[in-house]
Structure 1
């Protein structure tokens, strides 16, 4: 068998110790020694295909640790924990994340581990809390808010949840890019320089995506726009038609007034003029109605378009963190 380096032996023992911490071992500070075989899954779990698959990933992770391949081990432990939320898988994943410098992920999973504190022994819980405090001093703990519910929230392109987030998000120190996206909205984005131990507050704003071909409608309700335009157009047609009818009756009425009829010219003249007046009033009122409906529709369209333009305009906000802060401006200029 190939002789392990001292570093590899210590690392392997540390991970195996993670699998045994439920029984009272110290998860974070094991001394060097030969690796111990991983505990076999309970009989009830062996019948569960998902648990068996998780155990295989865990064992593969242990094998990678023995040859000092922590990145590959971390991936195996991640899949093991996703398949079965056993504490030994979670502890091994945390250990691998720390070994590969993924402090933010390790802090996130340590918080999850500590929320299961009743399942830990006193020594393990104390060591986990100590390590958690050390990691929090190295990373940022961001509070992310989004103005739209159900949006995917991403940090450096990795999804960390959906809005509204129930927890703060641990992020590595340095320049981080926060995003929120949801179908039908323009992605909100903000870049923040995160200092170690800081607690930045990040506000992401989403605005409705009008898309190509929707510019004329702005953010307006198209059903209302089309209905208003149709009603105004219909009233205008009625007004024009009745006006033409009223004008068409002008000649026959004049003929009756001049006596160009066989009998009852007066009665016929009065009947024609009465009809002419009714058509005239109908034309007037429908014309006014068409103008009012059309004008209201136009005002509504302009108001919603202006509101949409304002949403697309510059927006400002601030980021506050211990020892300083900053102002950000985003949007179209």
Structure 2
């Protein structure tokens, strides 16, 4: 057992995510290296000519070892950089899953999803236990980001997300994106570009369709004539920040309503006092001013309580409807906003 990978097991075994996959792959790597060496010696003893097996990149091995050591010391940034350098020299599957695991520990869920997906689809033999652990980590990462699919007509267009190229259509693999508003573009020489802006929720799986138009025409389209598609969260958790903000705003409006009631009551008393006790020439003006303030406080109180009810109700609905089915066969409603108008887009099967 390699002491570095054994230390890595003991350091992270009790943490949120262990690097057990890296240990297992390290053992397999060591075993295969020793076996290859023994076979080569046996062939030499028999004086039988044999082609030399391809050697692992020694520099990549060194970088990988240092990256694992850095990750064991919770220096994830250094570990990620070193393991990436190892992959650049020798893209072994054990290096890729180690990178994904370290990125999970660093809360870089989008990067981790990309590398874990690449590991699972590398085409190399994967031990069933390693595959299971990688699939579980990938599912955990996807629950915190968005997994986007993009279809472009015609093929051969560059696909960009937030200005960064992610592939050329048709893009067969999923596109992992951060939560929030994302701009998707398709560009092809000789054709008008097309784009969509999509609101991506944690765990969401938005599907984007873009159609390029002819140059000089009305331009390409995204969905129903371009514009912005605002999708409700799909299968993920609601944003706690939005919930807290809604509760805070609702509470503040309720305070305004209470303040309006207090102000109304004070001015009501002032108006009665002026009416009963004032005998001067300015009494009527003072009475009118008090009455005017009383009415204003009444409106303020009404607006505060109504606003608190609306915001509070909307926040409650948002918080209580966070879990939704990922079943693509169920109807899905999206709000479509574009230069030619807005409306609701209903998709799915009934």
Compute the displacement of 1:195 (Å): 0.8
Q: Which residue of 1 aligns with 2:279?
A: none
The answer on whether the counterparts of 1:153 and 1:161 sit within 8 Å (CA) in structure 2 is yes
Compute the displacement of 1:164 (Å): 0.6
2:347 counterpart of 1:329: no
2:63 corresponds to which of 52, 57, 76? 57
2:254 counterpart of 1:311: no
Distance 1:155 1:119, change over 3 A: same
Deviations 1:204-239, CA, capped at 9 Å, x for gaps: 34345xxxxxxxxxx5xxxxxxxxxxxxxxxxxxxx
The answer on whether the counterparts of 2:151 and 2:209 sit within 8 Å (CA) in structure 1 is yes
* Aligned-partner Cα distance in 2 for 1:79–1:117: 21
2:137 corresponds to which of 113, 131, 134? 131
Q: Which residue of 2 aligns with 1:10?
A: 11
Compute the displacement of 1:163 (Å): 0.6
What secondary structure, in the 3-state scheme, does the structure 2 residue paired with 1:20 have? helix
2:100 counterpart of 1:99: no
Distance 1:66 1:192, change over 3 A: same
The answer on whether the counterparts of 1:8 and 1:68 sit within 8 Å (CA) in structure 2 is no
* Aligned-partner Cα distance in 1 for 2:208–2:95: 32
Runs (4+) off by over 6 Å: 6-9, 12-16, 43-46
Distance 1:204 1:80, change over 3 A: farther
The aligned runs of 1:156-235 (5 Å cut-off) are 156-208=162-214
Distance 1:79 1:156, change over 3 A: farther
TM, length-normalised to structure 2: 0.50
Compute the displacement of 1:196 (Å): 1.3
* Aligned-partner Cα distance in 2 for 1:312–1:172: 25
Compute the displacement of 1:160 (Å): 1.9
The answer on whether the counterparts of 1:175 and 1:194 sit within 8 Å (CA) in structure 2 is yes
What secondary structure, in the 3-state scheme, does the structure 2 residue paired with 1:111 have? helix
The answer on whether the counterparts of 2:60 and 2:89 sit within 8 Å (CA) in structure 1 is yes
Unaligned runs of 5+ in 1: 1-5, 26-37, 209-218, 220-307
Q: Which residue of 2 aligns with 1:22?
A: 25
CA RMSD of aligned residues (A): 4.0
Q: More displaced, 179-188 or 316-325?
A: 316-325
Compute the displacement of 1:79 (Å): 3.1
The aligned runs of 1:294-305 (5 Å cut-off) are none
* Aligned-partner Cα distance in 2 for 1:79–1:330: 46
Unaligned runs of 5+ in 2: 1-6, 38-51, 235-323, 325-332, 341-350
